[in-house]
Structure 1
Amino acid sequence: MRVLVIEDDMMLGGALVQALDDAGMSADWVRDGHLGEEAASVGGHALVLLDIGLPGRSGLEILRSLRAAGDRRPILLITARDELDDRVAGLDLGADDYLVKPFEVKELLARMRAVLRRHGGQAVSTLNTSEVELDLSSHEVKYRGKGEVLPAREFALIQALLERPGGILSRAQLEERLYGWGEEVESNAVDVLIHYVRRKFDKDIIRNVRGAGWMIPK
């Protein structure tokens, strides 16, 4: 899953990118309000972490603009303790939730999972098909009675496919979901990840659709 981080604080932004990477996500980070709005408008990110106090253009202005344009992606605001009025305004403008600095990585990831569940109409933190179950909090995959906790990139691959069970994702679509801007991607990177997952379970866990891409059956 790709996440857009719009945060001007170098220490916090770097920590967020590392935490998301450790959790199997791909993070793109911009540090300015104008660049943040431009990056958000391009799309391709499943969720946006948006600081309110940004140079150039505030987080609330970016939020207002995105919602006015019909963008319904989950947006979590990052705020300071003394920004109560801004938090209220952000929620009224359409933010899905907020985090008050400083916050723990565990809370950030839990809130992200919660808003993604709400957007997906899910009640629990799992993705399922008839044979595959993915626990989004523990990164454990269960397939035909066997369970494995997956490394970050393999987890991200399974998550991308399980978000559209029965749907085919091409190599380009998977690369977009798994890797961030400027990240060097080997031509066979997706094939290698699929090989690792199949080796842990069975070749049928991920089906190849010749000339189109890969899928996990419903």
Structure 2
Amino acid sequence: MRVLIVEDEPTLSRQLRTTLEGAGYAVDLATDGEDGHFLGSSENYDAVVLDLGLPEVDGLTVLDRWRKEGREMPVLVLTARDSWSDKVAGLDAGADDYLTKPFQTEELIARLRALIRRASGNASSELTAGDVRLDTRSGKVTLAGEPVKLTAQEYKLLSYLMHHKGKVVSRTEMIEHIYDQDFDRDSNTIEVFVTRIRKKLGQDVITTIRGLGYALNDPEDRNNG
């Protein structure tokens, strides 16, 4: 999952980036509203953490522009302001949730997880496909109840597919959502990670749809069909 942080306070922005990367997210960072608006308009993110008090262009304006442009990614607003009018203004501009500074990073991550789950139609923090289970809270993956160790990139790829179960995901979409902006985006590495995941979780867990991309294979979906 790929997240954009738009925050001008250097210490907080670095802390958020480190924390989110440690939680398995690909993270891009913008330090003013102008750059934040550009990234949010030109790149594909699963969620955005947006400070309201930004230089160049304020956060409410950035958010309003995104929504008018048709950008639908979930946005979690950060604000040092504690008045209800600011919170209401943020929600009215298109925010999906908000946190008032100071806050605990654990709460921010929990709120992000919830926003991303809801955006992909998942109510539970535990995602399943047959015998495969992925706990978004702990980052643990199990196969028939037994823990399976994945690398960071393998986890990101599996997590994206499990959040979008039932959908064919193209290589381009996968690359856009599991790598940050500065990563060397080689599409061939996607096939390498898919092969590794299949070795660990079973050859049938991910189906290759030739010319289109990949889909998570869930036996329960076939049975229900």
SS in 2 for 1:123: coil
What TM-score do you get using the length of structure 1 for normalisation?
0.87
SS in 2 for 1:204: coil
Structure-2 separation of matches of 1:161 and 1:118: 15
Gaps of 5+ in 2: 219-225
Q: Once structures 1 and 2 are overlaid, which stretch shifts more, 33-42 or 44-53?
A: 33-42
CA RMSD of aligned residues (A): 2.2
Query: In 2, are the aligned partners of 1:139 and 1:150 still within 8 Å (CA)?
Result: no
Q: Deviations over 1:140-176 (max 9, x none)?
A: 2233443325443222111111233243333332222
1:106: which partner in 2?
106
Structure-1 separation of matches of 2:124 and 2:65: 31
Query: In 2, are the aligned partners of 1:24 and 1:151 still within 8 Å (CA)?
Result: no
Gaps of 5+ in 1: none
Q: Structure 1 residue 81: deviation in Å?
A: 4.9
Structure-2 separation of matches of 1:77 and 1:10: 17
- Taking the TM superposition and a 5 Å limit, the aligned residue runs for 1:69-88 are 69-82=69-82, 84-88=84-88
Q: Structure 1 residue 210: deviation in Å?
A: 4.1
Structure-1 separation of matches of 2:122 and 2:183: 31
Structure-2 separation of matches of 1:72 and 1:187: 25
Identity of aligned residues (%): 39
Query: In 1, are the aligned partners of 2:7 and 2:30 still within 8 Å (CA)?
Result: yes
Instruction: Tell me how many residue pairs correspond in the alignment.
Output: 218
Q: Structure 1 residue 211: deviation in Å?
A: 4.6
Query: In 2, are the aligned partners of 1:209 and 1:215 still within 8 Å (CA)?
Result: yes
Q: Structure 1 residue 26: deviation in Å?
A: 0.8
Q: Once structures 1 and 2 are overlaid, which stretch shifts more, 50-59 or 168-177?
A: 168-177
What TM-score do you get using the length of structure 2 for normalisation?
0.85
1:195: which partner in 2?
195
Amino acid at match of 2:48: V
SS in 2 for 1:195: helix
2:132: which partner in 1?
132
SS in 1 for 2:167: coil
Amino acid at match of 1:69: E
Amino acid at match of 1:157: L
Structure-1 separation of matches of 2:99 and 2:158: 28
Q: Structure 1 residue 42: deviation in Å?
A: 1.8
Structure-2 separation of matches of 1:128 and 1:101: 35
Structure-1 separation of matches of 2:135 and 2:197: 15
Q: Does 1:49 align with 2:49?
A: yes
Query: In 2, are the aligned partners of 1:146 and 1:201 still within 8 Å (CA)?
Result: no
Q: Structure 1 residue 62: deviation in Å?
A: 1.2
Change beyond 3 A, Cα 1:209–1:183: same
- Taking the TM superposition and a 5 Å limit, the aligned residue runs for 1:6-155 are 6-82=6-82, 84-148=84-148, 150-155=150-155
